[in-house]
Chain A
Amino acid sequence: MPQEIPANSVGVVTPQIAIFNEPLELRSGKILERYELMYETYGELNADKSNAVLICHALSGHHHAAGYHSTDDKKPGWWDSCIGPNKAIDTNKFFVIALNNLGGCHGSTGPTSINPATGEPYGSDFPMVRVRDWVESQARLADYLGIEKFAAVVGGSLGGMQAMRWAIQYPERLHNSVVIASAPKLSAQNIAFNEVARNAIMSDPDFHDGHYLKHDTIPKAGLMQARMLAHLTYLSDDAMGEKFGRDLKADQVSYDYTPEFEVESYLHYQGKKFSTTFDANTYLLMTKALDYFDPSQYYENDLAKCLSHAKCKFLVVSFTTDWRFSPERSEEIVDALIEADKEVAYARIESEKGHDAFLIPIPRYVKLFTAYMERVAKELAL
């Protein structure tokens, strides 16, 4: 943590657990008898409970979106740049809830939790969850916290898909849906990247059909490869060129196969770090949720028809060099919203940072996001 907590930080926060004993029937038909959700909140819930904002996380995200867990933390939560006093999602006005999704590996019930049926970790027996299941569980968390209607549901990437799903699934329960760097469904290329990542994990000899914890091991190498691959898709060619170029770690090439370019070393570092902190089964599950996401399939593959059920206003944001979910993918959402006569604002932010841009405080992005959230506060008289 920095020497002193910055004035625009939410400060030290403590995660909380919500326990749900009412069974949750998943899209797959499987039932979770009971589950827990780990979450954090920032800001104060107002008297009429009208100022709540839900943050939906992306593939590798979790409930720790802002502030610090302890004074020893080196880094704040993953979206600290946008959540805090006087930030885009201003905690002076809003009560912000960030959770770890079902199936996650940061405290919510997931593959590393104990399966009550066996007394052992679920592992690969943990049922697959889909975006609509997450929205269902998030709605129950909202009930638990006494929130009937969110001022906004906000998310980037896979989080944006949840924000979109909210608008269709619970049209009466949100005023605004903020969909950043997202897509209405994955392309064949997106699915292909996910499959290569899954294949890397599942072919690791330490995977043991997903029951690696029983064998006191984890598929580190596979998860590392999956993360390295995914990382490539988060960055643009320009961003990598600017960050690493062709720089070598040593003065000259070494004629061996150890990582010697800076970019190799960076990928190895990222992959290794991730492989010891993230659960492989959660990774598999999250990528499947991404692959399956396609809300329009229940509406004759007509996204406009699907989104016609929404009653909220939308902010859609894309980034020019994002090739994982390119601006054209966001524009598919925008076009469908226009066709469905929905209220929408859309911005295509110039950035060389690729998909990762949605986590980076790019001045134009922050200014626009702030203006939108200020409007949300104004419209709800917060």
Chain B
Amino acid sequence: MNQQPLNQQPTSLRSDLKIIERWIQPNSQVLDLGCGHGDLLAHLKTEKQCQGYGLEINPDCIVSCIEKGLNVIEHDLNHGLEHFKDSSVDTVVMTQALQAVRRPDILLDDMLRVGKEAIITFPNFGYWRTRFYLMAKGAMPMSKTLPYNWYDTPNIHMCTFHDFENLCRDQGLTIVERTVVDSRHTESLSTRLWPNLLGEIAMYRVTR
């Protein structure tokens, strides 16, 4: 399984990561699940003096993180977060990996066992283009955000804004903040008004 199925390329900090950065306190302890090439962690380290660990399974990503001077631990998220004790970090971040793990519900629960707060981003399957694709073509949607075939996609648990909020409610979690961005990772008035329809990537900040 690939925990960083989307946005593999290191770039200057993506705008969704900039939103995440706003949600993270300076000098806090951060755990990044599926940290990829470590862009977020590196940024938080230099800009916000955050301490942190990244979990990753992609060998090239692990090397990138080492080069950046980051604490990267090779670990499959499907095995939970047993490396970490209860309430051992301030914020657990997982960008674009929730839909790729075997049991998102269990992992979400584990994230809030380890962290005081969790930040989660995922591709919104309720996005209008995705809906339209399925309706018009009768085939599993593919797009720039979802570039895989149904049979080889690492994204095995696609969900919508509503689905995720239902899960949070079932688990008794509090949504502190949410936002959606389009494929260019920018916010707009329309995505704010009709998030589940117009938001391509969902971003949530939750606590227990």
A residues in contact (CB < 8 Å) with B: 315, 331, 334-335, 338-339, 341, 343-348, 364, 367-368, 371-372, 374-375, 379
Q: Can you name 16 extra interface pairs (CB under 8 A) apart from A338-B53, A368-B59?
A: A334-B83, A335-B83, A338-B73, A338-B83, A338-B88, A339-B88, A341-B51, A344-B73, A345-B71, A345-B73, A346-B72, A346-B73, A347-B59, A347-B62, A371-B63, A375-B67
B62 and A368 form a contact (CB under 8 A)? yes
B85 and A339 form a contact (CB under 8 A)? yes
Q: Is residue B74 within 8 Å, beta carbon to beta carbon, of the partner chain?
A: yes
B88 and A375 form a contact (CB under 8 A)? no
B65 and A345 form a contact (CB under 8 A)? yes
| Majority SS at the chain A contact face | helix
A372 to B71, CA, bound (A): 11
Instruction: Flag B76-91 by CB within 8 Å of A: 1 or 0 each.
Output: 0000001111001000
Q: Is residue B140 within 8 Å, beta carbon to beta carbon, of the partner chain?
A: no
Also in contact, A348 and B74, with CB within 8 A (given A368-B63, A375-B66, A375-B69): yes
B67 and A338 form a contact (CB under 8 A)? no
Q: How many A-B residue pairs have CB under 8 A?
A: 49
A346 to B70, CA, bound (A): 11
Write out the residue numbers on chain B whose beta carbons fall within 8 Å of the beta carbon of A364. Answer: 59
Write out the residue numbers on chain B whose beta carbons fall within 8 Å of the beta carbon of A346. Answer: 72-75
A334 to B74, CA, bound (A): 10
CB distance from B10 to the nearest CB of A (A): 15
A348 to B51, CA, bound (A): 23
Write out the residue numbers on chain B whose beta carbons fall within 8 Å of the beta carbon of A379. Answer: 69
Instruction: Flag B88-120 by CB within 8 Å of A: 1 or 0 each.
Output: 100000000000000000000000000000000
9 contacts between A and B (CB under 8 A): A334-B83, A335-B82, A338-B53, A345-B65, A346-B73, A346-B74, A348-B74, A371-B66, A379-B69
A367 to B59, CA, bound (A): 10
Residue of A nearest to B68 (CB): A375
A374 and B83 form a contact (CB under 8 A)? no
Write out the residue numbers on chain B whose beta carbons fall within 8 Å of the beta carbon of A338. Answer: 53, 73, 83-84, 88
CB distance from A314 to the nearest CB of B (A): 9
Residue of B nearest to A370 (CB): B63
Residue of B nearest to A350 (CB): B59
Write out the residue numbers on chain A whose beta carbons fall within 8 Å of the beta carbon of B62. Answer: 345, 347, 368
B71 and A344 form a contact (CB under 8 A)? yes
Residue of B nearest to A373 (CB): B66
Residue of A nearest to B60 (CB): A367
With beta carbons under 8 angstroms apart, the residue of B71, B74, B88 that contacts A347 is B74
Write out the residue numbers on chain A whose beta carbons fall within 8 Å of the beta carbon of B53. Answer: 338, 344
A368 and B66 form a contact (CB under 8 A)? yes
CB distance from B81 to the nearest CB of A (A): 11
B67 and A371 form a contact (CB under 8 A)? yes
Write out the residue numbers on chain A whose beta carbons fall within 8 Å of the beta carbon of B73. Answer: 334, 338, 344-346
Residue of B nearest to A335 (CB): B83
Write out the residue numbers on chain B whose beta carbons fall within 8 Å of the beta carbon of A315. Answer: 66
CB distance from B206 to the nearest CB of A (A): 23
Instruction: Flag B10-54 by CB within 8 Å of A: 1 or 0 each.
Output: 000000000000000000000000000000000000000001010
A343 and B63 form a contact (CB under 8 A)? no
Residue of B nearest to A379 (CB): B69
A156 to B59, CA, bound (A): 21
A345 and B72 form a contact (CB under 8 A)? yes
CB distance from B28 to the nearest CB of A (A): 13
CB distance from A170 to the nearest CB of B (A): 22
CB distance from B37 to the nearest CB of A (A): 13
B59 and A372 form a contact (CB under 8 A)? no
A348 to B82, CA, bound (A): 16
Write out the residue numbers on chain A whose beta carbons fall within 8 Å of the beta carbon of B75. Answer: 346
A346 to B76, CA, bound (A): 12
B66 and A345 form a contact (CB under 8 A)? yes
CB distance from B132 to the nearest CB of A (A): 41
Residue of B nearest to A365 (CB): B59
With beta carbons under 8 angstroms apart, the residue of B65, B67, B84 that contacts A374 is B67
Write out the residue numbers on chain B whose beta carbons fall within 8 Å of the beta carbon of A367. Answer: 59, 63
CB distance from A120 to the nearest CB of B (A): 51
A374 to B70, CA, bound (A): 14
CB distance from B145 to the nearest CB of A (A): 30
A374 to B69, CA, bound (A): 11
B71 and A343 form a contact (CB under 8 A)? yes
Write out the residue numbers on chain A whose beta carbons fall within 8 Å of the beta carbon of B83. Answer: 331, 334-335, 338
User: Which 9 pairs across A and B sit closest by C-beta, in order of nearness?
Assistant: A346-B73, A371-B66, A347-B74, A371-B63, A348-B74, A345-B72, A345-B66, A335-B83, A364-B59
A341 to B85, CA, bound (A): 12
A213 to B70, CA, bound (A): 53
CB distance from A356 to the nearest CB of B (A): 20
CB distance from A260 to the nearest CB of B (A): 41
CB distance from B89 to the nearest CB of A (A): 10
